[in-house]
């Protein structure tokens, strides 16, 4: 992580003001700052998220640790780009929020915007961060969570892709993948690797060619973003899974939610096959509890979306660590807040009120996801 990120100290509430953006532009030189902190009515750019992450870490040192967990593809090429950032939020005690699996507090991980054009997802992560850092000692339920859980957030898993989306602020571009064009130019469609098909669990070469939306990359975990996310999750969750087709250890702790759009449903493992996961009943039971807050039904296999998803992040984490892992598809298929690019007002009016209690519940459930649910 760069020094300018850590050194910033300013009130988060002022981050979006124009005057502060001008002030910021003289304070340090980040290559993408010209894009501004927001686009399309209020959505945060990657720079906006980075400023926010740094601001909450600086303002709440008793609650927040901010990590650089790896590079975007462009940064790995030495062409600008971004660090992938992860925050850990808890009432910090010694050894809390370390990048290892020895922490005593169960972990809930919220992971967003691995598909860049699914723009509501990063905003939900942003709202979740603000809720957590503003609620300790204020809201009894969130205070209890912060005292007993590690709340990890990766707000932007695909920052290069989000830069592309936000490069047209009034009409965001529909970039889904990262921007790795090493497989060559595209006559139609966009180059890039689908990071949610690139994991090293059940990676499948036959998901599409380099110019299609689900191109899985030249090999499993070929992309630096995948290496960053897998490396991060492998550090914080112990390896207790055993064989792929064996159930998770009953003592497994943790819950993982990756946010996508759209469909108003929850996808639980497996995504790569229609065969039931060894813990399918428990995975669906917890999914149904979370879905009770959002009204989202729970599907496995190709249910809900109509196709299989080999190489996904959530299958990788459940398949290698046993951690219950879910894909939330935020947003309806029709209507004012539908699709990849809902108006920014939909975050506050529709999505956040549904997601907030589901995420609080997921964090509570991280203590005993295969035991007695809260």
User: Could you give the residue numbers annotated as active site?
Assistant: 329
- Give whichever of 99 and 354 is closer to Zn ion, judged by the CB atom: 354
- Closest distance to Zn ion from the beta carbon of 118 (Å): 5
d(CA 100, CA 150): 12
Cα–Cα–Cα angle for 160, 162, 167, rounded to 5 degrees:
100
Residues that bind Zn ion (CB under 5 A): 115, 118, 260
- DSSP letter at 351 equals I
d(CA 152, CA 158): 17
- Closest distance to Zn ion from the beta carbon of 159 (Å): 15
- Give whichever of 115 and 149 is closer to Zn ion, judged by the CB atom: 115
- Closest distance to Zn ion from the beta carbon of 80 (Å): 24
- Closest distance to Zn ion from the beta carbon of 283 (Å): 19
- Give whichever of 271 and 322 is closer to Zn ion, judged by the CB atom: 271
- Closest distance to Zn ion from the beta carbon of 114 (Å): 7
d(CA 8, CA 55): 6
- Give whichever of 65 and 260 is closer to Zn ion, judged by the CB atom: 260
d(CA 166, CA 109): 25
Is residue 160 within 8 A of residue 228, CB to CB? The reply is: no
Closest alpha carbon to 280 in 318, 230, 321:
318
Per-residue tokens: 351? 């999505």
Is residue 243 within 8 A of residue 320, CB to CB? The reply is: no
- Rg value, the chain, Cα: 19
- Give whichever of 65 and 176 is closer to Zn ion, judged by the CB atom: 176
Is residue 255 within 8 A of residue 362, CB to CB? The reply is: yes
Per-residue tokens: 354? 């549904």
């Amino acid at each position: 992580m760069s020094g300018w990120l850590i050194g910033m100290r300013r009130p988060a509430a002022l981050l979006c003001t124009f005057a502060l953006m001008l002030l910021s532009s003289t304070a340090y030189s980040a290559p993408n700052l010209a894009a501004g902190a927001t686009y399309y009515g209020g959505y945060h750019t990657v720079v906006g998220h980075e400023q926010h992450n740094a601001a909450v870490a600086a303002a709440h040192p008793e609650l927040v640790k901010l990590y650089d967990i790896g590079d975007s593809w462009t940064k790995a090429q030495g062409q600008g780009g971004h660090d992938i950032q992860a925050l850990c939020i808890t009432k910090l005690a010694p050894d809390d929020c370390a990048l290892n699996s020895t922490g005593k507090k169960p972990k809930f991980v919220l992971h967003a915007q691995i598909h860049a054009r699914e723009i509501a997802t990063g905003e939900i992560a942003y709202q979740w961060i603000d809720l957590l850092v503003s609620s300790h000692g204020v809201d009894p339920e969130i205070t209890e969570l912060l005292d007993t859980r590690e709340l990890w957030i990766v707000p932007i898993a695909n920052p290069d892709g989000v830069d592309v989306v936000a490069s047209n602020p009034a009409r965001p571009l529909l970039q889904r993948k990262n921007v790795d064009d090493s497989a060559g130019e595209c006559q139609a469609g966009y180059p890039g690797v689908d990071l949610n098909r690139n994991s090293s669990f059940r990676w499948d070469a036959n998901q599409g060619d380099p110019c299609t939306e689900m191109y899985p990359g030249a090999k499993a975990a070929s992309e630096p973003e995948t290496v960053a996310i897998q490396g991060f999750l492998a550090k914080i969750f112990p390896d207790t899974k055993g064989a792929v087709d064996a159930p998770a250890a009953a003592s497994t702790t943790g819950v993982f939610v990756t946010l996508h759009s759209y469909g108003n449903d929850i996808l639980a493992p497996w995504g790569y096959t229609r065969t039931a996961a060894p813990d399918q009943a428990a995975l669906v039971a917890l999914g149904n509890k979370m879905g009770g807050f959002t009204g989202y039904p729970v599907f496995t296999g190709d249910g809900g979306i109509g196709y299989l998803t080999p190489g996904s992040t959530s299958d990788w984490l459940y398949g290698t660590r046993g951690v219950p892992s879910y894909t939330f598809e935020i947003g309806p298929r029709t209507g004012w807040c539908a699709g990849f690019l809902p108006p920014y007002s939909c975050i506050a009016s529709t999505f956040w009120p549904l997601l907030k209690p589901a995420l609080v519940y997921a964090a509570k459930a991280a203590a005993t996801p295969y035991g007695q649910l809260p």
